[in-house]
Amino acid sequence: MTPLAPVTLVCLGEALVDLVAEDKGVALQDAVRFVRAAGGAPANVAVGAARLGVRAGFVGKVGADAFGDHLEASLRGAGVDTSRMRRDPMHRTGLAFVSLAADGEREFLFYRHPSADQFLAPEELDDDYLAAATVLHLGTLSLVGGPAREASLHALRVAGAARALRSLDVNLRLDAWPGPRQARAGALAALAQCEVVKVSLDELDFLAGGTGTAEAASLLREATRLLVVTHGAAGASYHLPDGRHGHVPGFGVEALDTTGAGDAFVAGLLAGLAQDAAALAEPAALRPLLRRANACGALATLRLGAIPALPTAAELGSFLSVHGA
């Protein structure tokens, strides 16, 4: 089970199979043809980081079924360490049906009631593996409840004790939670334990109770060392605890599918922070990392699916050589 060397980045949470409608601009109820693709936000980030040259590992649970086989093979084939990936003979691998609007935005329908990823238990974690990592990353889907919630909170405590950098992509899926109040409370509780937090504009507004973008950023930045707010194609803004903030523009591309864009962005950002954690507190060093993260997100919109669209280091380099680093 032990990898050849400690991983730099551990991503913990769900690995799901995305079934993406081939025809754009068709509602999910009218879609006929679907393309299978490995997915799940933490799994996507692990693959995205691995393609950028980071030694990444995935910690999660999938079913002992054909879709679980596909996910494990996809992650391992992308260079992700899957030695701490668990298989569940009692619960199936989760599925996500995805349809695409004409502009590449998505509609989701999840089949995970329940699914194997929700049953990762704290006793199935390898604390030494978690403590040896430089960065621990997770999302909020694993925090909804059950064993996976306890495993996620345990992992945050272990990583914190080891002084690892803890990263959270809020990535809210409100229909997975009992209600908005529980979703807000669960996300805020995890956010307060993480040094790096990424939210969208809508998520920022939701978490701060609709106080407005500037006020919301002011409220949340005090709970973490780096708050990053993504603005879609317009780029991303950063907010530091001392009040310093700024915006890094995005890249204009013709999006085919935005499914993996946010995860590609996170992978690009964490790949940079894993090499230079000091950039957390220094805008001059942080801005180039966000520029590369924006480029990763833009590149991921040019192909269908999440994992198949995540860029390699070579693709990122070529893109930046054309569009400017």
Q: What is the pLDDT of residues 214-267, one digit of tens each?
A: 666 666 666 688 999 999 899 999 999 888 999 999 998 888 888 889 999 999
**Is a pLDDT exceeding 90 seen at residue 69?**
yes
Pick from 40, 52, 39: which is nearest to 9 by CA? 52
Q: Is 30 a catalytic residue?
A: no
Give the whole-angstrom CA distance, residue 19 versus residue 32.
11
Is the pLDDT assigned to residue 1 strictly greater than 60? no
Q: What is the pLDDT of residue 194?
A: 95
Band (pLDDT 50/70/90 cuts) for residue 44 is very high
Judge whether 259 and 20 are in contact, CB under 8 Å. yes
Write down the residue that tokens 């198949």 correspond to: 308
Q: Report the chain's mean pLDDT, rounded to a whole number.
A: 91
* pTM to 2 decimal places: 0.93
The two structure tokens encoding residue 241 = 């605890």
pLDDT: which is higher, 161 or 103: 161
**Which of 18, 117, 257, 263 does the annotation list as catalytic?**
263
From 147-156, 157-166, 245-254, the region with the lowest mean pLDDT: 245-254
**CATH no. for 9-14+44-86+121-323:** 3.40.1190.20
Q: Which residues contact 207 (CB under 8 A, 6 or more apart)?
A: 170, 184, 187, 188, 191, 199, 216, 220
Alpha helices in the chain (DSSP H): 41-51, 66-77, 127-132, 146-161, 180-191, 201-207, 213-221, 261-275, 283-300, 313-323
User: Average pLDDT of 8-37?
Assistant: 90
Instruction: Check whether 213 has a pLDDT greater than 70.
Output: no
